[in-house]
Chain A
Amino acid sequence: MQALFDYYRYNMEYFLIKLGEHMSIFALSWAMAIVVGLLIAIASTRPGRMKIGNALLTITGFSQAVPSIAVIALVFIFTGIGFRPAVLALFIYSLVPIVFNAASGLVSVSPGMKEAARGMGMTNGQILRKVELPASVPAILSGIRSAATINIGTTTIAAAIGAGGLGEIIFTGIRNFNFTIILAGAIPTAITAILVDVVLSVVEKRVTSKGLQLAEHWRE
């Protein structure tokens, strides 16, 4: 324990730089994945395109099983090493849970509800904004949340292609068989992942309609 504190005392600046790198890789790839992922999910579930949406669900469902290291390795083959390839790889990797959850949320909005909306004279855009998206908020957010935790954890591997981040500290520890240094990288990674998850769970509570929360509660 003392050794751990000593590590931080002597390497504070280095640690903060690595933490900063870690968070920027995470934040950038995650934010891109949210924007692109939601657009893909929405585009593939528009009326008349439900087949595409369902196909996408199958594909993304499968690809969740692909190990993160494989994705990073693949991207690395095509784009080389450094910060940008790492962001790209993590973007692709985060995309999967976001698209999967958002699309499955949108697909499962009851047809009766959508028809009621259409029958009352909502345009397709209004149906999406006023009915489909609000009703899918829990699914969408759960995708975004799991993407965040997966992403923060997986960012450690980005160090393998020279993108820096807390992974660099962990890899140093591994190379030197130094358990303290491994922990010095691993513990803050875990803590950030947990913190982000806690923050997002608060956000989720805030933006999910009380009606849906109650429905969830009743189902249990």
Chain B
Amino acid sequence: MAIELKKLRKVYGESTVAVDDVDLTFEDKKISILIGPSGCGKTTTLKMINRLIERTSGDIIIDGRSIDEIGVIELRRSIGYVIQEIGLFPHMTVFDNIAVVPRLLKWPEDKIKKRVMELLDLMNLDPDEHPYKYPVQLSGGQKQRVGVARGLAADPEILLMDEPFGAIDPINREKLQDAFIEIQEQINKTIVFVTHDIREAIKLGDNIAIFNEGKLVQYDETMTVINEPADDFVENLLGSDRGLRSMELVRVHDHYDTDFFALELTEKLTVGDALKEIEKTDRRYAYVLNEKKRLAGYVVRKKIEKANKSDPLKKHVKETESIHPSSSLLEAMSLMMTSGLSAVPVVDDRGRVRGVVRFSALMEMFGSVDLTGSD
């Protein structure tokens, strides 16, 4: 569900403008980041969505309806809300913490139990051990997973997250972020995520909204923000090493090319057959998949043109490195450097080839960014 903010404004007292006529749309099933220095209005904006803070003027439209048309309690129950770990209830077990909203919605207990177990599994928490523990018995990272599970308990379309990983040490924060990206790939929620950490923003965000002094300074796709910062403020926020940094944080996942050519390998397939197929395109090489459609390697057109046409193609297949969708673009780049390939195939957990990352595309993507960081 998309969330539209229309001329959203929050004024405290007579004249303290916390949020100043913000217009933006959080896209369906995307992670949108709100970032900026403290007091910039990012958290206020988030809390106006579930009406923890009432707006002064403007409107918020969810799924075509103004949030005022929905009762405030019903609205909040239909939106997941995740804050720092302090938000867990210390007197409740992990199970009861996760079950809060389903119980408010009066779900039957067996349905609740099934859902809680499902979420523990999704969050990589042991369903035998964890549900009956109390928050105090968990590590910071585990608490935060429970917090996310609680936000997702009633399967809301929208999840609001207010600096959820802010209190976690850097190493565990990275792990949580990685886990969170994988979870989002499965659940596909519309997520609005407040952070003050630009690394986190670049890493998690499909889109980034940058706030300063209550005003929306820029709202764009993550790569656009990196390549075309709207002004000096955004540029400073990104830091002078934004090129390398974003390469390190942006994942292959969103940026591979699905336009590639692959041949399916069979016992009988000869070089001649393969060449015929390749010649229909203007490719210089082709990936080769085995019978199970897993990546077997690649063949270079120029090389097999010189080979005996009746040779089985199998003899000429070269092995190739591959990269996982959750790897960073920097990893892809360094793989290219070490292997001498100008493109690496993107292969997912199931061994399926999803696309390819090309050196030229990386260059283009970061073309306007000074990778040496000397600006």
Contact = CB atoms under 8 A, between A and B. Distances in A.
Given A120-B77, A121-B73, A214-B134, A112 B83 contact: yes
Most buried by B among A116, A134, A218: A116
A112 to B, nearest CB: 4
A115 interface: yes
Contacts of A115: 52, 83, 87
A126 interface: yes
B81 A119 contact: yes
Interface in B49-90: 50, 52, 73-78, 81, 83-84, 86-90
A112 B136 contact: no
B134 A119 contact: no
Given A120-B77, A211-B135, A214-B134, A131 B89 contact: yes
Contacts of B78: 121
A43 interface: no
B81 A112 contact: no
A209 B91 contact: yes
Contact of B73 (A110, A123, A131, A135): A123
A123 B93 CA distance: 21
Contact of A116 (B77, B81, B134, B136): B81
Nearest to A114: B87
A121 to B, nearest CB: 3
B137 interface: yes
A210 B93 CA distance: 9
Interface string A142-161: 00000000000000000000
A100 to B, nearest CB: 21
B76 A215 contact: no
Size category of the A interface is 20 to 34
A205 interface: no
A120 B101 CA distance: 6
Interface in B82-134: 83-84, 86-93, 100-101, 104, 134
A200 B75 CA distance: 42
B81 to A, nearest CB: 4
Interface string A113-147: 10111111111001000110011010000000000
A113 B100 CA distance: 13
A209 B94 CA distance: 13
Interface in A2-52: none
A142 to B, nearest CB: 16
Contacts of B136: 211, 214-215, 218
A212 interface: yes
B48 to A, nearest CB: 12
Contacts of A119: 47, 50, 52, 76, 81, 83, 160
A100 B372 CA distance: 62
Nearest to B71: A121
Given A116-B81, A126-B104, A212 B52 contact: no
A209 B150 CA distance: 20
Given A116-B88, A116-B89, A134-B89, 7 more contacts: A112-B84, A112-B87, A116-B87, A120-B100, A209-B134, A215-B90, A215-B134
24 contacts: A112-B83, A112-B87, A113-B90, A116-B87, A116-B88, A117-B100, A119-B76, A119-B81, A119-B83, A120-B76, A120-B81, A121-B75, A122-B100, A122-B104, A130-B89, A134-B92, A137-B91, A211-B90, A211-B92, A211-B134, A212-B90, A214-B137, A215-B134, A215-B136
Q: Which 7 A-B pairs have the closest CB atoms?
A: A211-B134, A116-B87, A121-B77, A121-B76, A209-B91, A119-B81, A112-B86
Interface of B: 47, 50, 52, 73-78, 81, 83-84, 86-93, 100-101, 104, 134-137, 150, 160
